[in-house]
Amino acid sequence: MEMQLSQELSSGNIQSTSPRKKFNIYLLICLIVVLVITIPVIIVLAVKLSDKSDDFNSLQENYNKLDNDKKSLDEQFNSLKNNYNSLQDDYKELNDTKTNLDKELKDATEENEKLRNELETEKAENDKLRNNNTDLDNQLNDLKDKYKELNNTKTDLDNELNDLKDKYEELNNTKTDLDKELNDLKDKYEELNNTKTDLDNQLNDLKDKYEELNNTKTELENQYSNQNSTLNDRFNALQNFISIANIVNAQFSKDEYQNVKEKLELAMTFEDGTYAFNIAEVEAHAQATFTSTEHDPVSYPQGYQVAFETDSRNWENYYTDEEYDDIVYNLASLVGVEPNIDVKDYKSKISFHIEDLDTSLSIAALFNQEYIYNWANETYIPNGFYQP
């Protein structure tokens, strides 16, 4: 410990300590100097006492006393040593505190610099806002002047408005009287208008009927003048077939053409196509015996297919059962062929396959059919006498 103190004293580290630490170190040095001075004295006294045997006991006591003093000094030295160590710890703590304070001071300086910059920025913005406020004040003063001017104008307009209100009140009173007169005129007009509407409707109906009759007359005149010879030829051909109908009737039994509508109802579920007439009996038998069967449509290499029904005059809503059976039987007897069943879009009707074109067109003209079907080239031939 003494060597350490000597080294610290010689190295000059004592200069960097605090006043309190300097005082403690000076006190320790003084004690060491006292010890250095005291020990030689003790040695000298011991030598002198060694020469005197009769003073040995006294010397022994002095020695013990010095020894006690030495122990006391050791205790003081240890205390000083502990104080020194404590002072070193305090110094280290103070040094750490100083480092933290330096860091805080640096941070505070930087924050201060930042705040100074922000203050300068805000100052510049305040200067700018102050300039803007000056401009706004000027604009406000201008607006105040304009407001005063507009207020004066408003006063003038209010005066004019009051005059106009008086005039409006006068006109409103006049308008009330006119409205009453107008309502009376409206009632009379509505009554006359209703009467006129009824007359117009009657007149339009008469015009439509007249136009329809005129068109029919014109069309009949045109057909008669342009197609009289052709129609006569076709009806003559049809008359020839009718003249031999009694002979053909012998080939067919009227019993075969009973309940034709029921057969058409059975065929409504078939796929689109033309089927043999007896296919309905096959379907009826299949339903009665709970068996399934497939029905194939028929086709012809040539000839024509003609029907006698129209959209408004068909077996579902126009003919009775007996009338429909008689027509099918008479046409079958007339043309001398079994009828077919045509199915399209789940609707069915009777048609006939006829080899002769004039006969087919004559039947189409007689029953107002729009066209007949040509099997040879799978096309439709229009009926020139068709009336929609």
pLDDT digits (tens, 9 = 90+) for 107-158: 888 888 889 898 888 888 888 888 888 888 888 888 888 888 888 888 888 8
pLDDT tens per residue across span 243-298:
444 444 445 677 778 888 888 888 888 889 999 888 767 776 667 666 666 778 89
Q: Say if 235 falls within a structural domain.
A: no
H/E stretch holding 372 reads strand 371-374
Q: Which of 102, 118, 134 is the last residue of a domain?
A: 118
The answer to whether residue 146 sits within a structural domain is no
Classify residue 110: in a domain, yes or no.
yes
> In terms of DSSP H, where are the helices of the chain?
2-11, 19-51, 56-243, 245-249, 260-267, 279-288, 321-335, 357-366
- Cα distance between residue 356 and residue 305, in whole Å: 10
**Domain end among 118, 150, 171:** 118
3-class SS at 342? strand
Terminal Cα-to-Cα distance of the chain (whole angstroms): 141
> What is the value of pTM for the model shown?
0.39
Contact predicate 382/304, CB 8 Å? no
Whether 78 is in a domain gets the answer yes
d(CA 335, CA 352): 8
Tell me how far CA of residue 269 lies from CA of 25, 74, 298, 319, 348, in angstroms. Answer: 130, 134, 16, 22, 9
Counted domains in the chain: 2
Q: Which domain holds residue 260?
A: 244-382
Residue 17 forms part of a structural domain: yes
Cβ atoms of residues 259 and 275 within 8 Å? no
Do residues 235 and 362 make contact, with C-beta atoms less than 8 angstroms apart?
yes
